[in-house]
């Protein structure tokens, strides 16, 4: 027999205040949008400042390693535990089929395999469309612009790969941002929302820096950079508004079984995508296939410190959000 759910009714009723919750959510729309803009714009502007200077490549590499730490910590410390918690809630775990199988782990695996499939498909498409000569060059290597296909240098192929990585990464982060916003928007618990507003502001700064670092290195046009920055900045606020609409129409809040199932499944999928992108397309590429780092030991040490700092800062935020 599964034990019935035990709910602290007095505390729950004391914290449930629709008017106060709505007021906090309206404030959070502006705060989160502003901090998202600051977070994602900072590395992009920093990269443009260093562009053309001798330290440009090194600065971009260190920014990207910091970004990789942020993304890896986001997936393992924030998204994945929240997904497991949502599907382990007694309202969900006491029912079939959720109590019969660890769906969080399964969907995380599916997310990682999906990211790999997209990566392989897009890479294969790039290689075939540009008819490479067959010489294998690891992603992220530098060879002075040697031609590897008909009219396309290896540096240009690396840029195409970096653009793909940035776009898939943004998709994974957008999944995560929608879940965060939707959960907050549906919540009527002011005790939960109040600390979340400040915590999510810092969360968006660091996550934005992570994505912005990858966008900066990819060499997109100004219009594409602006579009990607805008999409990241508005996704969480749009999720909050959507959550408020869902609650007003259906009456579901963030603690309803259906909301928990949706949060758990989308969170697991997002986590799988982010784990793959952080480990394979960011960390492995820079630390094992980048000749710039391999030729300068101090740069490798600095990059590892940046990776550790990004992971640490994002992990500390898990105390509050």
- Residue 146 domain-assigned (yes or no): no
> Which of 71-85, 145-159, 163-177, 250-264 shows the lowest per-residue confidence on average (mean pLDDT)?
145-159
Beta-ladder partners of 147: 153
pLDDT of amino acid 181: 86
**Cβ atoms 23, 197 nearer than 8 A:** no
Q: What percent of the chain has pLDDT over 90?
A: 16
Answer yes or no: is pLDDT of 139 > 70.
Answer: no
Condensed to tens digits (0 to 9), the pLDDT of residues 33-65 reads: 999 999 899 888 887 777 777 787 788 788 888
- Residue 5 domain-assigned (yes or no): no
Count structural domains, the chain: 1
d(CA 133, CA 252): 57
Total residues found in the chain within this entry: 321
Owning domain of residue 163: 14-128+155-319
DSSP string, 53-105: STTHHHHHHHHHHHHHHHHHHIIIIIIHHHHHHHHHSHHHHTSTTTTTS-HHH
Condensed to tens digits (0 to 9), the pLDDT of residues 6-39 reads: 554 555 556 777 788 888 899 999 999 999 999 8
- Give the up-direction half-sphere exposure of residue 137: CA atoms within 13 A in the CB hemisphere: 23
Task: Kindly state the helix (H) or strand (E) to which residue 129 belongs, with its residue range.
Answer: helix 103-129
- Residue 30 domain-assigned (yes or no): yes
- Residue 307 domain-assigned (yes or no): yes
Task: Kindly state the helix (H) or strand (E) to which residue 203 belongs, with its residue range.
Answer: helix 190-218
DSSP string, 155-186: HHHHHHHHHHHHHHHHHHHHHHHHHHHHHHHH
- Winning range, highest mean pLDDT, from 69-83, 147-161, 176-190: 69-83
SS3 10: helix
State mean pLDDT over 267-292: 85
Answer yes or no: is pLDDT of 153 > 80.
Answer: no
- Residue 137 domain-assigned (yes or no): no
Q: Which two tokens stand for residue 253?
A: 């809040």
Answer yes or no: is pLDDT of 135 > 60.
Answer: no
d(CA 302, CA 305): 5
- Residue 274 domain-assigned (yes or no): yes
> Which of 74-88, 117-131, 132-146, 182-196 shows the lowest per-residue confidence on average (mean pLDDT)?
132-146
Q: Which two tokens stand for residue 14?
A: 């004391």
- Residue 144 domain-assigned (yes or no): no
Closest by alpha carbon to 264, among 78, 85, 77? 85
Mean pLDDT of the chain: 80
- Residue 143 domain-assigned (yes or no): no
Closest by alpha carbon to 36, among 174, 145, 152, 140? 174
**Could you tell me which residue, 116 or 252, shows the higher pLDDT?**
116
């Amino acid at each position: 027999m599964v034990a019935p759910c035990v709910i602290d009714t007095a505390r729950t009723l004391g914290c449930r205040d629709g008017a106060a919750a709505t007021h906090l959510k309206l404030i959070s729309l502006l705060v989160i949008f502003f901090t998202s803009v600051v977070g994602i714009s900072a590395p992009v502007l920093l990269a443009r400042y260093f562009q053309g200077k001798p330290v440009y490549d090194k600065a971009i590499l260190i920014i990207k390693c910091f970004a990789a730490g942020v993304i890896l910590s986001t997936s393992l410390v924030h998204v994945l535990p929240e997904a497991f918690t949502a599907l382990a809630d007694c309202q969900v775990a006491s029912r079939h089929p959720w109590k019969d199988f660890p769906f969080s782990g399964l969907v995380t695996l599916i997310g990682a395999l999906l990211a790999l499939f997209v990566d392989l498909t897009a890479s294969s498409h790039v290689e075939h469309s540009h008819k490479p000569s067959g010489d294998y060059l690891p992603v992220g290597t530098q060879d002075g612009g040697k031609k590897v296909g008909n009219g396309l240098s290896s540096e240009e192929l690396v840029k195409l790969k970096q653009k793909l990585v940035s776009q898939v990464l943004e998709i994974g982060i957008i999944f995560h941002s929608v879940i965060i916003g939707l959960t907050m928007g549906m919540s009527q618990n002011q005790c939960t929302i109040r600390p979340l507003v400040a915590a999510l502001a810092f969360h968006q700064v660091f996550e934005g820096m992570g994505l912005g670092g990858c966008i900066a290195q990819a060499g997109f046009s100004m219009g594409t950079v602006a579009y990607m920055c805008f999409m990241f900045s508005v996704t969480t606020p749009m999720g909050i508004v959507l959550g408020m609409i869902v609650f007003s129409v259906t009456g579901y809040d963030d603690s309803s079984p259906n909301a928990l199932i949706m949060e758990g499944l989308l969170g697991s999928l997002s986590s799988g995508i982010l784990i793959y992108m952080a480990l394979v397309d960011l960390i492995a590429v820079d630390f094992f296939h980048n000749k710039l780092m391999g030729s300068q030991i101090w740069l490798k040490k600095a990059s590892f410190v940046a990776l550790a700092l990004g992971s640490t800062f994002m992990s500390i935020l898990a105390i509050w959000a």
